[in-house]
Amino acid sequence: MKDFLRKKLPPYMVPSEYVAIEKLPITANGKVDRAVLKELRPIIVHDPKTILQPRDEMEAGLKQIWERLLKISPLSITDNFFELGGHSFLAARLFSEIEKKLGKKIPLSMLIQNPTIESLANCIREQEVKHEWPGVVTIHAEGKRPPLFVAHGLGGSLLIFRALAEKLGPDQPIYGLQLASGMVDHKDRLSVPELASIYIKQMKAINPSGPYHIAGHSLGGLIAFEVASQLSAAGEELGQLALFDCDLHSPSSAISGPARSLLESIRVVFRRSASMVQRASEAKRSELIQRKIFYEKLKLKISLLKYFPAAGRLFPNLFGEEVYVALSTQQYHPQPYPGDAVVFLAADQPRANRKFGTGWSQVVLGNFELLKIPGTHQTIFTPPYVDLLAEELMRRLQLFDEVRVQRNNPALTGF
């Protein structure tokens, strides 16, 4: 079935899960009961001869975690996490359990190039030997176009860009920016300019000279902006700077928001979580609750470290590197950028600030665009919303290519 659909549909439209049913569930009004459909789980049927069993303790441990979280059994160590219905938030839970089992930090981006138990186990073994991981991760390496480097947001991961990378097509190289192992070792001393400088060194190892396309989501947009600024100051050729649902002042508001004290932060966590429980549909309630609580707990940690900096020394294992990165953005003051930029706003995201995103016009000296994309802060990267996001981004990347060709070949323009 999947092979057949791959021949008829673009990759982003090929379903990751398939469920066989005798007939569609119908409501009392005679309509398709979509709530029941959403509750159905895919049935994975393996030929016993094709199931590759774990060969060591590492693979056996990973298989046990995968089967419990995906609620699918038995699995082969060659099954693809994403084709089994895995998504970015479930991947975060997966790696949280793996880290507890191993007793060490491993980057979630490892799953991008290693989506099977077999390949992930091999990668973890290699990382245990090297004790390091890069700050620039390959999402899609093939293609002749100038590469796109993209930074993820607070508490997120590079997995969120998988669908976007597929939609941009096979000729567009795309790399993700994440905290490298060396950055984590001194997370309490991180700054946005320092992060950008480290990223640029690793970017140049992949692509020694421009042009570079730069993008960032949410808090990652500030890091992307600083990367573009430093590259521009160094005389490198810049392509498109794209900021995904990112406000110039979002780090401050996202950290403190209505919370004027730590106690207020705690109150906000429980209030928002309770409200979210009431609004969530039955089919998605568990996932939405866990996702919301995850982000609220993250904000609570940020507030705790903000009001009581000594907590970082007293409880070093409580605060992840993303907490320190978020705090560092409060001290970041972007300088005027001579190039162009586009801000993609999530049109369906509730906003307290009606001028969200417009602050970038104060520091972007070139052409500045503000474009709304259907979806929320997270769903703009998922079908069907990612289709329009990729279309608009690709249109700008192609326009840059065309202008660059004309600039480098004046004869083509008739001059």
Is residue 166 pLDDT above 70, yes or no?
yes
User: Which position has the higher pLDDT, 48 or 303?
Assistant: 303
Q: Which pLDDT score is estimated for 250? A: 45
Please answer whether residues 25 and 32 qualify as being in contact, where contact means their C-beta atoms are separated by less than 8 angstroms.
yes
- Least confident interval from 92-101, 147-156, 298-307, 388-397: 298-307
Confidence category of residue 279, pLDDT binned at 50, 70, 90? very low
The four Cα atoms 391, 394, 400, 406 give a dihedral, to 10 degrees, of -90
Structural domains in the chain?
Answer: 2-39 (no CATH), 45-133 (1.10.1200.10), 135-248+334-415 (3.40.50.1820), 251-319 (no CATH)
Q: Tell me: the pLDDT tens digits for 172-192?
A: 999 999 877 666 556 666 789
Q: Which pLDDT score is estimated for 186? A: 62
Q: Which pLDDT score is estimated for 17? A: 61
Q: Tell me: the pLDDT tens digits for 60-97?
A: 999 999 988 888 888 899 988 888 878 777 888 888 88
Is residue 259 pLDDT above 60, yes or no?
no
User: Which position has the higher pLDDT, 310 or 275?
Assistant: 310
At residue 403, what is the residue type? V
Q: Which pLDDT score is estimated for 239? A: 94
Instruction: Give 357-391 as a DSSP string.
Output: TGGGGGTB-S-EEEEEESS-TTGGGSTTHHHHHHH
Average pLDDT score, the chain:
80
In the chain, what's the furthest Cα-to-Cα distance?
A: 70
Q: What is the CA radius of gyration of the chain?
A: 22
The two beta strands, 212-217 and 174-177, are: unpaired
Q: Cα separation of 240 and 307, whole Å?
A: 38
Q: Which of 97-111, 113-127, 260-274, 361-375 has the highest mean pLDDT?
A: 361-375
Q: Which pLDDT score is estimated for 146? A: 94
User: Residues 243-265: what's their mean pLDDT?
Assistant: 56
User: Residues 161-166: what's their mean pLDDT?
Assistant: 92
Confidence category of residue 411, pLDDT binned at 50, 70, 90? low
Q: Which pLDDT score is estimated for 387? A: 93
The two beta strands, 238-244 and 212-217, are: parallel
Q: Tell me: the pLDDT tens digits for 211-252?
A: 999 999 998 999 999 999 999 999 999 999 999 999 986 444
